[in-house]
Structures are given as structure tokens and as C-alpha cells.
Amino acid sequence: MKQFLTFVKKEFAHVLRDRKTLLILFGMPVVQILIFGFALTNEVKNARVVIMDQANDAASQRITSMIAAS
């Protein structure tokens, strides 16, 4: 266990000294978050909806017109 902790300590020292490694370690996740944040949205655009109104009463007509207006 002591050897492992010594190894981890040495690797942290190497990473903290190297600026390129630090940039990759901390910069790349930030870039990925920004890219995926812009690429993925929860907004649905141009979705086709089919309404089958078997009741054909006033309430179903209101719901149908609200869906058609959105």
C-alpha cells in the first residue's frame, strides 16, 4: 500500500509540473461540456402528431385545437 501511495504522489507531482497535461486534464472536460451543451437540447422541433378523436365532443375538440396551435 505504501508503494502505491508513493507512486500516486509521484504521478501527481509530474502532472502538476507539466502545463500541457494540466490543460488536457482540466481544459478538455470544460470544452466537452460546452460542446455537448450546445449540441444537445431538450427542445422538440417539427414533430408530427396524429390525433384520433373518437369521442368528438367539446372537450376533445378543445384539446385538439390546443395541440394544433402549439
Task: Label residue 61 by pLDDT band (50, 70, 90).
Answer: very high
16 Cβ contact list (under 8 Å, min separation 6)? 22
Question: How much is the pTM?
Answer: 0.42
Q: Where are the domains of the chain?
A: 2-69
Of 70, 50, 51, residue with least CA distance to 61: 51
Digit-coded pLDDT (tens) for 3-56:
999 999 999 898 889 989 988 999 999 999 999 888 887 777 888 889 998 998
